[in-house]
Amino acid sequence: MKKIRIIGILAILVIAADLVLSICNISIDRSSEGYKAGYKTGKEFSPNNPVELRVTSLTATPDSLFNTKLNRQMSYQTDQVVTIIAPPAWLFLFYPLIFLAGLAYIGGFYRLIRLLWSVSKKDVFTESNVSRLRFFAYVQAIAYLLIWIFEKLNTHYALQQVQIPGYKVIGGAEFGMDWTLIMVTILFAEIFAVGVKIKEEQDLTV
Protein backbone atom coordinates (compact mmCIF):
# COMPACT_ATOMS: atom_id res chain seq x y z
CA MET A 1 0.00 0.00 0.00
CA LYS A 2 2.88 2.36 0.77
CA LYS A 3 4.31 1.69 -2.69
CA ILE A 4 0.98 2.62 -4.32
CA ARG A 5 0.86 5.82 -2.29
CA ILE A 6 4.37 6.83 -3.41
CA ILE A 7 3.64 6.07 -7.07
CA GLY A 8 0.38 8.00 -6.83
CA ILE A 9 2.11 11.06 -5.37
CA LEU A 10 4.75 10.93 -8.10
CA ALA A 11 2.04 10.67 -10.77
CA ILE A 12 0.22 13.73 -9.42
CA LEU A 13 3.49 15.71 -9.25
CA VAL A 14 4.31 14.79 -12.86
CA ILE A 15 0.83 15.80 -14.08
CA ALA A 16 1.00 19.09 -12.17
CA ALA A 17 4.51 19.85 -13.44
CA ASP A 18 3.48 19.06 -17.02
CA LEU A 19 0.50 21.43 -16.73
CA VAL A 20 2.62 24.24 -15.28
CA LEU A 21 5.35 23.80 -17.90
CA SER A 22 2.78 23.84 -20.71
CA ILE A 23 1.33 27.12 -19.42
CA CYS A 24 4.83 28.60 -19.01
CA ASN A 25 5.85 27.59 -22.54
CA ILE A 26 2.74 29.25 -23.98
CA SER A 27 3.49 32.43 -22.00
CA ILE A 28 7.12 32.49 -23.16
CA ASP A 29 6.20 31.90 -26.81
CA ARG A 30 3.68 34.73 -26.74
CA SER A 31 5.98 37.23 -25.01
CA SER A 32 8.45 37.44 -27.91
CA GLU A 33 8.83 40.73 -29.78
CA GLY A 34 8.05 39.04 -33.09
CA TYR A 35 4.78 37.70 -31.80
CA LYS A 36 3.81 41.06 -30.27
CA ALA A 37 4.46 42.83 -33.57
CA GLY A 38 2.39 40.32 -35.49
CA TYR A 39 -0.35 40.45 -32.90
CA LYS A 40 -0.69 44.23 -33.26
CA THR A 41 -1.33 43.89 -36.99
CA GLY A 42 -3.59 40.84 -36.84
CA LYS A 43 -5.49 41.14 -33.56
CA GLU A 44 -8.68 42.29 -35.27
CA PHE A 45 -8.93 38.82 -36.83
CA SER A 46 -7.40 36.45 -34.33
CA PRO A 47 -6.94 37.77 -30.77
CA ASN A 48 -4.12 35.94 -29.03
CA ASN A 49 -4.40 32.94 -31.35
CA PRO A 50 -1.08 32.14 -33.07
CA VAL A 51 -0.82 29.11 -35.35
CA GLU A 52 2.31 26.96 -35.61
CA LEU A 53 3.02 25.64 -39.11
CA ARG A 54 5.54 23.22 -40.58
CA VAL A 55 7.28 24.41 -43.74
CA THR A 56 9.79 23.07 -46.23
CA SER A 57 12.17 24.95 -48.52
CA LEU A 58 11.36 25.05 -52.24
CA THR A 59 14.91 25.96 -53.26
CA ALA A 60 18.19 24.09 -53.08
CA THR A 61 19.94 27.26 -51.89
CA PRO A 62 19.34 27.85 -48.19
CA ASP A 63 18.68 31.28 -46.68
CA SER A 64 21.47 33.04 -44.83
CA LEU A 65 22.01 34.85 -41.58
CA PHE A 66 24.92 36.77 -40.06
CA ASN A 67 27.10 35.01 -37.47
CA THR A 68 28.75 37.61 -35.21
CA LYS A 69 31.34 35.13 -33.92
CA LEU A 70 32.52 34.10 -37.38
CA ASN A 71 31.83 37.56 -38.82
CA ARG A 72 30.23 36.22 -41.99
CA GLN A 73 26.97 35.02 -43.49
CA MET A 74 25.91 31.47 -42.62
CA SER A 75 23.30 29.35 -44.33
CA TYR A 76 20.16 28.23 -42.55
CA GLN A 77 16.76 26.71 -43.23
CA THR A 78 13.68 26.71 -41.07
CA ASP A 79 11.05 24.02 -40.76
CA GLN A 80 8.53 25.77 -38.51
CA VAL A 81 6.94 29.22 -38.26
CA VAL A 82 4.38 30.89 -35.99
CA THR A 83 1.88 33.29 -37.52
CA ILE A 84 -1.57 34.81 -37.04
CA ILE A 85 -4.42 33.99 -39.43
CA ALA A 86 -7.98 35.18 -40.03
CA PRO A 87 -10.16 32.19 -39.11
CA PRO A 88 -13.97 32.25 -39.37
CA ALA A 89 -15.78 33.80 -36.41
CA TRP A 90 -17.47 30.53 -35.44
CA LEU A 91 -14.08 28.99 -34.65
CA PHE A 92 -13.86 31.13 -31.52
CA LEU A 93 -16.76 29.16 -30.06
CA PHE A 94 -14.06 26.64 -29.13
CA TYR A 95 -12.61 29.06 -26.55
CA PRO A 96 -15.43 28.73 -23.99
CA LEU A 97 -15.59 24.98 -24.65
CA ILE A 98 -11.86 24.57 -24.04
CA PHE A 99 -12.12 26.79 -20.95
CA LEU A 100 -14.93 24.65 -19.51
CA ALA A 101 -12.98 21.50 -20.36
CA GLY A 102 -9.99 23.00 -18.55
CA LEU A 103 -12.08 23.61 -15.44
CA ALA A 104 -13.39 20.05 -15.64
CA TYR A 105 -9.80 18.82 -15.99
CA ILE A 106 -8.88 20.65 -12.78
CA GLY A 107 -11.88 18.97 -11.14
CA GLY A 108 -10.63 15.62 -12.41
CA PHE A 109 -7.20 16.33 -10.98
CA TYR A 110 -8.82 17.06 -7.61
CA ARG A 111 -10.71 13.74 -7.80
CA LEU A 112 -7.43 11.99 -8.57
CA ILE A 113 -5.95 13.41 -5.36
CA ARG A 114 -9.01 12.23 -3.42
CA LEU A 115 -8.62 8.78 -4.95
CA LEU A 116 -5.01 8.69 -3.75
CA TRP A 117 -6.09 9.78 -0.28
CA SER A 118 -8.74 7.05 -0.25
CA VAL A 119 -6.18 4.44 -1.30
CA SER A 120 -3.76 5.61 1.40
CA LYS A 121 -6.49 4.77 3.95
CA LYS A 122 -6.79 1.26 2.45
CA ASP A 123 -10.19 2.15 1.02
CA VAL A 124 -9.47 1.06 -2.55
CA PHE A 125 -12.20 -0.88 -4.35
CA THR A 126 -15.18 1.44 -3.95
CA GLU A 127 -17.76 2.99 -6.26
CA SER A 128 -16.48 6.44 -5.29
CA ASN A 129 -13.00 5.62 -6.54
CA VAL A 130 -14.46 4.21 -9.76
CA SER A 131 -16.34 7.47 -10.30
CA ARG A 132 -13.23 9.54 -9.58
CA LEU A 133 -10.99 7.57 -11.91
CA ARG A 134 -13.56 7.52 -14.70
CA PHE A 135 -14.15 11.26 -14.38
CA PHE A 136 -10.44 12.03 -14.64
CA ALA A 137 -9.89 9.64 -17.58
CA TYR A 138 -12.81 10.82 -19.71
CA VAL A 139 -12.46 14.53 -18.95
CA GLN A 140 -8.79 14.33 -19.90
CA ALA A 141 -9.72 12.69 -23.20
CA ILE A 142 -12.43 15.27 -23.97
CA ALA A 143 -10.18 18.24 -23.12
CA TYR A 144 -7.34 17.01 -25.32
CA LEU A 145 -9.74 16.08 -28.12
CA LEU A 146 -11.19 19.61 -28.18
CA ILE A 147 -7.72 21.16 -28.33
CA TRP A 148 -6.70 18.71 -31.08
CA ILE A 149 -9.78 19.55 -33.20
CA PHE A 150 -9.18 23.29 -32.65
CA GLU A 151 -5.55 22.97 -33.77
CA LYS A 152 -6.55 20.95 -36.85
CA LEU A 153 -9.14 23.57 -37.87
CA ASN A 154 -6.62 26.37 -37.38
CA THR A 155 -4.15 24.49 -39.57
CA HIS A 156 -6.82 23.95 -42.25
CA TYR A 157 -7.51 27.69 -42.55
CA ALA A 158 -3.82 28.58 -42.25
CA LEU A 159 -2.98 26.36 -45.24
CA GLN A 160 -5.52 28.34 -47.28
CA GLN A 161 -4.10 31.73 -46.29
CA VAL A 162 -0.36 31.59 -45.62
CA GLN A 163 2.27 32.00 -48.34
CA ILE A 164 5.99 32.21 -47.57
CA PRO A 165 8.40 33.09 -50.42
CA GLY A 166 10.78 30.19 -51.01
CA TYR A 167 8.88 27.85 -48.71
CA LYS A 168 5.88 25.55 -48.90
CA VAL A 169 3.54 25.21 -45.93
CA ILE A 170 3.06 21.48 -45.45
CA GLY A 171 0.96 21.33 -42.28
CA GLY A 172 0.54 22.36 -38.70
CA ALA A 173 2.84 21.64 -35.79
CA GLU A 174 1.99 18.35 -34.14
CA PHE A 175 -0.03 18.81 -30.97
CA GLY A 176 1.71 17.00 -28.13
CA MET A 177 -0.93 14.44 -27.27
CA ASP A 178 -0.36 10.75 -26.63
CA TRP A 179 -3.58 8.99 -27.66
CA THR A 180 -2.15 5.66 -26.54
CA LEU A 181 -1.64 6.93 -22.99
CA ILE A 182 -5.13 8.45 -22.91
CA MET A 183 -6.76 5.23 -24.13
CA VAL A 184 -4.74 3.16 -21.63
CA THR A 185 -5.96 5.47 -18.83
CA ILE A 186 -9.58 4.93 -19.92
CA LEU A 187 -8.96 1.19 -20.23
CA PHE A 188 -7.57 0.96 -16.70
CA ALA A 189 -10.51 3.01 -15.38
CA GLU A 190 -12.93 0.50 -16.90
CA ILE A 191 -10.87 -2.48 -15.67
CA PHE A 192 -10.91 -0.97 -12.19
CA ALA A 193 -14.70 -0.58 -12.44
CA VAL A 194 -15.06 -4.26 -13.37
CA GLY A 195 -12.81 -5.22 -10.44
CA VAL A 196 -15.00 -3.25 -8.01
CA LYS A 197 -18.14 -4.90 -9.40
CA ILE A 198 -16.63 -8.38 -9.02
CA LYS A 199 -15.61 -7.56 -5.43
CA GLU A 200 -19.13 -6.39 -4.60
CA GLU A 201 -20.61 -9.59 -6.06
CA GLN A 202 -18.19 -11.68 -4.02
CA ASP A 203 -19.06 -9.77 -0.86
CA LEU A 204 -22.75 -10.53 -1.43
CA THR A 205 -22.09 -14.25 -1.78
CA VAL A 206 -20.12 -14.49 1.45
Determine the pLDDT at residue 25: 62
The string of pLDDT tens digits covering residues 112-152 is: 888 888 877 778 888 999 999 999 999 989 988 998 898 88
Task: Decide if pLDDT at 33 tops 60.
Answer: no
For residues 15-20, average pLDDT? 73
Share of the chain above pLDDT 70, in %: 80
| Among 177, 168, 179, 173, residue whose Cα is nearest residue 154 | 173
Task: Decide if pLDDT at 46 tops 50.
Answer: no
Higher pLDDT, 45 or 104: 104
Amino acid identity for residue 9 in this structure: I
CA atoms of 150 and 156, how far apart (whole Å): 10
Q: Are strands 167-172 and 50-57 parallel, antiparallel or unpaired?
A: antiparallel
CA atoms of 64 and 62, how far apart (whole Å): 7
Amino acid identity for residue 57 in this structure: S
Determine the pLDDT at residue 142: 92
Question: What is this structure's pTM?
Answer: 0.71
Provide φ and ψ at 68, rounded to 5°.
-70, -25
166 in helix, strand or coil? Answer: coil
CA atoms of 82 and 133, how far apart (whole Å): 37
Task: Decide if pLDDT at 66 tops 60.
Answer: yes
Task: Decide if pLDDT at 42 tops 50.
Answer: no
Determine the pLDDT at residue 37: 54
Percentages helix, strand, coil for the chain, rounded to the nearest 5?
65, 15, 20
For residues 174-182, average pLDDT? 74
Task: Decide if pLDDT at 174 tops 80.
Answer: no
The string of pLDDT tens digits covering residues 68-83 is: 888 888 887 788 888 8
Dihedral sign for Cα 157, 158, 162, 166, please: negative
Determine the pLDDT at residue 44: 46
Picking from 19-28, 58-67, 120-129, which range would have the lowest pLDDT averaged per residue? 19-28
